[in-house]
Each structure stands twice: as C-alpha cells, then as structure tokens.
Chains A and B, each alone.
Chain A
Amino acid sequence: MDKPVSKKILLFGLLALMSFAWPAQNKVTVWMIGDSTMCRYDSSRFPLTGWGMPFADYFSSAVTIKNKARGGRSTRTFLSEGLWQPIKDSLRKGDYVFIQFGHNDEAENYPDRYTPPAAYRKNLIRFVNDARAKKAIPVLITPVSRRKFDAAGHALETHAVYSGVVREVAHRHHVSLIDLDRMSIDLYQRYGPKNAKLLFNLLAPGENPAYPKGIAHNKTHFNAYGARHIAELVLRGIEQLHLKLADYIVKN
C-alpha cells in the first residue's frame, strides 16, 4: 500500500519540480560586443542611438540582452583593455555572442585602434573559440555600412576588406553569419542618397534645441530611426539563420 503511493508522490514531486525548473532552463543571454554603431548611449546624447538599443526591445522576457559594445573599440583594443575577459568568464551554455567590429579595426588613421586584417581575423577566431569553449553560440556580423553613394546614386561598399574577413572566418569556422554590411547597403539604396540621411545622426542648425549648430557630418552613427532599421535587419538575419533565438522574438 505504502510503496506505490510514495512512488506516485515522488513522481508527482519530480514533475512539479521540472515544471518549475523549465522556464529557468529557457533563459538565454545575448552578449553583444562591438563598436559605437552598436553600443548604448546615455539619453543626454539623444538622438544618437546604437542599433543594439532598439534591438533589445524585440525579445521576450526570457532573453537578457547584455550590450557590451563600446565606442571607438576595435577587436584588438576590446581585448587589450580587458573588455572581453569578464564576458568570457560569464558565458553560459546556450548564450549567444553577437560580434560586430570593423569600423575601428580598419581605421589606419587611428593607430591606437587600427588592427591589420590578419590580426583582425585572429581576434575574431579567438572570440568564436572562446565562446564555443563555454558552449555559447557565436554569431559573426559584418560591420554595418557607412553611408556613401557615387554620383549616379549607387550605395557603395565601405568595408570591403574587413567584411570579407568576417565572411571568410564565418565560412571556414562554420559560424552563423549575419551580413549586415550587405543588408545595410541595400537599405541605404532603397532610401536613396538624399533620404538615407534620415537614418543618421544629422541635424540642421536650429532643428534641435540641444544642438543649436546642428550636426552637419555623419556617415556612420545612427539616430533612433536609423538604429531601429539596422536592428530590424539583424532580427531578420536571426530568423533567416533559423537560430533558436528566433523563437524568442516577440511577434504581435
């Protein structure tokens, strides 16, 4: 009499425990490492917006976005400043690491940031291997394009060499790739030379009271509107790759 009942209770208890443990297992963290095009900005910098900011608004509560991107960083300085180590230490099985560098790696005129292609390749492989060693899932992202058009109104490639390196590393090491460079060039082309400016942190003098002189030049950094469009491209990339993470994107 006694035994089967206690077995049943045990089984029931186990099931109850499992049903409560289940959501905890479903928690996933997305670590974002990259540069100023991806990073967060204080509201005092508004309308300047990194694409990682709106990106965080499109996931269910099971997902935690840790945007660790920093302005001005290349793969080399992100590593040498010790920004990667604490992330690496915190990685857990099933976490994602979204990797988007290039703008500062390729900047030969900034020697303190510059990273030659061979070293860039090596650093990307290091991020990938470190992530995999912790059973996390690396995702390589080509650097979002700068806004550049030729006289005929064609959107031009602005990271040819460094995006090529990202694609090559992704291919050789079987890493999921989101070709944001290509996707953003297509986006700018759809907007055209004049309207594409609406995506960037540009302001006419007197337009915005915080910036009386306006912001006359910007081919790189987004406003809130542009950052959201770039985030949409990355979200689409996640869906096209059929990453498990796609199941956590909130659809109304």
Chain B
Amino acid sequence: MSGSRRMLPRDLVSEAIGGLLARPARVALTVLGTVIGVGALVATLGLSKTAGNQIVGRFDALSATDVVVSPSARAGGARAAVLPWDAEPRLRRLNGVAAAGTLSDVDVRGALVRSVPINDPLAAGAIQLPMKAASPGLFRAVHARLATGRLFDAGHSRRADRVIVLGPNAARRLGITRIDQQPAVFVGDRLYAVIGLLSGVRRHASLLGAAIMPEGTARREFGLRAPALAQVETRIGAVELIVRQAPVALSPVDPGLLKVASPPDPRQLRGEVKNDLNALFLLLGGVSLLVGAIGIANVTLVSVLERVGEIGLRRALGAGRRHIAAQFLLESTAMGLAGGVMGASLGTLVIVGVSASKTWTPVLDPWVPLGAPALGALIGLISGTYPSLRAASLEPVEALRAGT
C-alpha cells in the first residue's frame, strides 16, 4: 500500500492521452492558437535569418570600404581648420588605405563662372557653380572617371596653377564638351584653364555639378584655410582599423578634434534589419502564443469542470490529489507540445516557401525547430497549472455527487 509509486508513468500517459482523444475536435481547436503562435515565431526567426544572409551577400563592396574624416563638432564643425594640408600622404602611409584625398568647398565670394566669350546667343551667360578644391589623390578615392583631358596633379597644386576639372553637369552648363581646343573659364575675373572633364564619380555625387581646382590654387586664390574632409578608400575589411588610426595620423595631438564616418559594420547592419523585421512578427507570435495559452487554460478548466464526476470516480478508485493534478497537467502539456510540433512544421514550411519564391537559401538555426515544441509544451504546462490544481482540490464526496 505504498503511496508514492501507486500510478505507473505508463498508465498516467495513457490516461492523459485517453482524456484528450475522447474530445478530438475540441483539442484540435484548442491547439490551433499554439500552432499559429509557434509557427509565427519559427517563421519569423527563420525568415529574418534567411533575409539577413541575403543582405550580407549583397553588401556593396564600395560602401564597405568608405571612410570619411572631418572636423568634429568639438573642433568647431565643418569650417574648422584641423585637417593638415598633407592629409593625403599621411593617410596613404597607413596600411589598409587603398586611396585617399581631401576635398573642400571653395568660397568664391559670389564670383560667377562663365566660359570664354564666344558669339553664341544661346550659350548661358555667367552662372553660379559650386567650386571645390581637391587633393590629387581624391579622384581615385571617389572612383572618378575621366571623359576627356587629364586630372591635375601634385605639381599643379604646388605651383597653384589656375587649372580646373569640371564635373559632367558643370561642363554641360558651361557648354564645354571638348578639351582639344583648350577651353578656359572665368571665375570672377580670373581665367582658369579647363584641363579635364569627368564622366562620373561613385562617391561625393556633388562633384558631378562642380568645378574642381587644386588645393594649392584654392589656398592662394581664395584663401582656403584647411581641407574640409578627407575621403579614404580602404582595402576590404580594413574599415575598423582605419577608423581607429586615421584620426591619430591626421591629428596626433588631439585625435578627438576629428570625427570619422564609416559604413555600419555589416554584422551590425544585419542585426538592425533583423530587428526591424523581428519586432513586428515576434510581437505577433508572442500575442498568438498568449492567446493560445489562454485557450489551453480555458479549455482545460472547462474540461475539469465537465469531468468533475470522472475526477470523483478516479478518487474513489484510489487516485490521490497529485494523480489527478498530474493527469490534467499532462493533458495540457501534451496539447501544448502538439501545438509546438505542428507550429514548428508550419513555420519551417513558410520559410521554405518564401525562400523558394525569392530564390533565397533558407537558413534556420537548428535550435529553433527543436526548441519550438519545448516552448509549446512549456506553454501547455503553465496554462494547465491552475486548472490542474482546481481538479486536485476537489473533494471526492462533492465530485462524486456530480455523476459522470
């Protein structure tokens, strides 16, 4: 008559399953909430992982090697003279830098730009044109492509030659299409030789509509005090290194005077995309799970109330309170487990379906489909706790009075 091992685990399981199979339709409907909840969670986790994988695959090599150094707010903002004139050679000495150059806006004090007067009534007169000053290495750093002519070099800058390179839009506005006739433009009243026309740039699109002169020239002619920014192209994977080293190389006394703009770490970017996607669907999954849990709790409670007579009979047959509690707890846990298994399958199917339609490679952490049924079972266990305790607390005499 030992009390502790009176009910065999095998009997407990078969009684719980018997209790569920007696009401299959109700169990199926109850489980549905958990199926949807777990399915949404699995699909969300899998899809964001899958999509995150795609983002890394498509990550642009160009933007992944882009570093821009400019004066920090503490130094006094963009106009502060912090960057040294030899920023370009200093940066190029750093291991991991593929190309570097400095770029500044030139304040021409309202001077208008016009091409050398020719007798063309349709040609535009004097226009306002953004004026930029660049170090020679900038053209490589922004992937500038030359349409015709040549770029200026360190010699032009050193001698402060009055030469200019035009972006394609600026050239069109000035009506300059060819170099072979040695065109020139007036900036205010000073004449500049146009030595080259660009056809495109891949960074700093503002260059497309600008006239670009050597830094040395801008310094002498317009009193440019310091470069406004340094553009660096790093080798792949060297961004983090350059981000740390560039301010020290350019402003050894106080690197804090410079700020560095770099592309977000791809891993971080993937994380952010994932978070955006997840936030909504995880919320959806969470709400579905909550509703599913309440459903299981509700149905188990109703089932307890309906089966009061059966509980009384079982107590009369010798069931202890814990046997009754264990049976109802196992029933609700089994419902949660079934919901978890079905939800995991459904979620996996959704991932595969979406991936197939987008020709993605489906990616899923193995613990997701394995953990999902466990989550479902846990939800069933928690939901069943209160109804099971209710069932166990019934007095056998009262319960028997209800009949079956």
* B and A form one assembly: no
Chain B: residues with CB nearer than 8 A to chain A? none
Chain A: residues with CB nearer than 8 A to chain B? none
